[in-house]
Amino acid sequence: MSENTTPPVAKKISKTIEKHGDKRNDDYFWLNDRENPEVIDYLNKENKYYEQMTAHTKDFQTQLFEEMKGRIKEDDSSVPYFFNGYWYITRFETGKNYPIYARKKENLTAKEEILFDCNVMAIGHSYFQLGGMSVSQDNKLASFAVDVVGRRIYTIQIKNLETGEILKDKIENVTGSCAWSNDNKTLFYTKQDEQTLRADKVLKHKLGEVSSKDVLVYFEKDDTFNVDVSKEKSRKYLVITSASTLTTEFRTLLADNPDGEFKIFQKRVRGLEYDISHYGDSFYILTNKDKATNFKLMKTPENATEKENWKDVIPHREDVLLEEIEIFKEYLVVGERSNGLNKIRIMPWNGKEEYYLPFESETYTANISTNPDFDTKVLRYSYQSMATPSSVIDFNMDTKEKEVKKEQQVLGGKFDKKNYTEERVWATAKDGTKIPISMVYRKDLKKDGKNPLLLYAYGSYGVTMDAYFSSTRLSLLDRGFVYAIAHIRGGEDMGRPWYDNGKLLKKKNTFTDFIDCSKFVIAEKYTSPEHLYAEGGSAGGLLMGAIINMAPELYNGVIAQVPFVDVVTTMLDDTIPLTTGEYDEWGNPNEKKFYDYMKSYSPYDNVVAQKYPNMYVSTGLHDSQVQYWEPAKWVAKLRTVKTDNNILLLDTNMDAGHGGASGRFEALKELAKEFSFLLDLEGIDK
């Protein structure tokens, strides 16, 4: 990398933030204003510095991009699924960035009907995202939502699928979530607060009316809750979901009666989580009721939905996490997790013997897939491992025969899964807890401590990071990298207690688990500190910020994507999108015990004069989840405090939000930047 380029220096404007008698000085608070030309100028200077520092890798980035793109089947399509008389297909065409949504009536030999060609819709936009697509019960209309900025603020419109006409109905500044009633002319949708972007309202729109006449159906007053609207698989009920991190509440309405009133299913009780699925004359409820930490399945009559009427169907088990259910006319399918691995359980309603689908690998992921058809004996599920491309499989629950409908193609003629070793190993955390690590590498690898290793983790919100296949990852593996996922606490990889022990006042377990996993792969000679790299995004970016403050000597380089690093300041500002809903995850800093604990690990607040690893930090100007100014402030502070000459890069996408660039190939360009950063540090340039 270039040695003669001078990094930009952000000016300092001292601002004191006081809470609980504690004063914090923030020299870079002024960056919190995307309308300020000086802020934009600073971000542009950082981008220019990034370009100068990586100019020598541009050809290599292009090579990596073409290499990764070359493994992807460009003229690809999804496995069709059947719903309400039509087969639905999503497909891509060669050279095009966006999907085409289509359907065929009754059978797959019928004429294709294009619903939406996102390539045409995206013309003239630097960012494009289609969301909220919902087809009316009579199959004649489709609502759809478009975001052209990247802040997840959508505009809903309606298309006449018979004529192709876009109707005059236009609903702006909404979340994109919507559901049709069974009368084919009433659409329910959710709207967010304009400042916090919290989804707090459900409205009802009548076809042909101006949106200003839409009726407010429900308003969520509690600013720690978000709302959503959907339709049950049985199509009998419309459902409003109110959810916070630890509490849920549902309201139901017969889909045949859109002008009726939604009825509370079970009033919210702090700490009570439940999810509902309708079948016959009953609802099935996945819940943590009665201290069922790992959840259990219960059942209640549809006309008596309060929790006093719920009866156990699958009782709670200490060692098995109940994750999801899928209801069919003749079968109940249950997604479970034990010892960190997915299990799919088939339970016939007629009382015949139940069974589990057989899976053999130790680094696989198996999930219930798209199953909108209620009256079928065929379960669709997906399977992949770190060395096995993703497959979509149809399984006949009656005959137990399975058919692989599609296996992800890896083009280029060089990939053979036999060339790779995948394994699950266990690191010991400082409190004695065993932490699983899934990894994959080439079979000819020697454990001599000289291999570059990229260790990835997330570790928040109970999100499970399952072992998955990635064709882009081959660009690292085939150049000698080990790729590893640390299943640290804060996720739900080993059950719900795994999550509970990695949040709030136990959040530091997330960081120390990752550090202990890093020490393990070094001790076992998979790698060494000179060749160990760490990566995480969003809350995983917080993880990156914490570990480099706590143990910078373990890593040669770190990638932090849209990192949540200014924890205290953000959590004290309830005008920022998502903040109040995060209290159950991080704690409410208006309470001193949470304030003190957050401050003790917040990456921005704990930057000190020490050596830091080489770093590549990315963000998006329009990010609605982790505001761009968090990584910008963090990098500015690191530049003035750190004592090393290691590389520090801030790369801001001026057109995108939290998810990065839109379009499948634009995203590959961002990945090529990350990979070239790592490979350049290893002296690999081809």
Mind telling me the catalytic residues?
538, 623, 658
C-beta neighbour count of 90 within 10 angstroms: 17
Angle between helices 592-601 and 508-523 (to 10 degrees): 30
Which tokens go with 350?
């007629």
From CA 660, how far away is CA 653, in angstroms rounded?
Answer: 7
From CA 564, how far away is CA 577, in angstroms rounded?
Answer: 13
Asked whether 407 and 460 are in contact (CB, 8 A), the reply is: no
State the burial class of residue 107 (Cβ atoms within 10 Å of its Cβ: 0-12, 13-18, 19+): exposed
From CA 442, how far away is CA 256, in angstroms rounded?
Answer: 57
From CA 104, how far away is CA 94, in angstroms rounded?
Answer: 21
Asked whether 501 and 487 are in contact (CB, 8 A), the reply is: no
Least Cα distance to 400 among 349, 442, 450, 348 occurs for 348
- Collapsing DSSP to helix, strand or coil, 505 comes out as helix
- N residues, the chain: 686
From CA 186, how far away is CA 138, in angstroms rounded?
Answer: 12
From CA 686, how far away is CA 678, in angstroms rounded?
Answer: 12
From CA 53, how far away is CA 4, in angstroms rounded?
Answer: 9
From CA 57, how far away is CA 156, in angstroms rounded?
Answer: 42
- DSSP, residue by residue, 510-551: HHHHHHHHHHHHHHTTS--TTTEEEEEETHHHHHHHHHHHH-
215-219 and 614-620 beta bridge pairing: unpaired
Considering just the CA atoms, what is the radius of gyration of the chain in Å? 25
- Collapsing DSSP to helix, strand or coil, 206 comes out as strand
CA-angle at 453, arms to 449 and 456, nearest 5°: 145
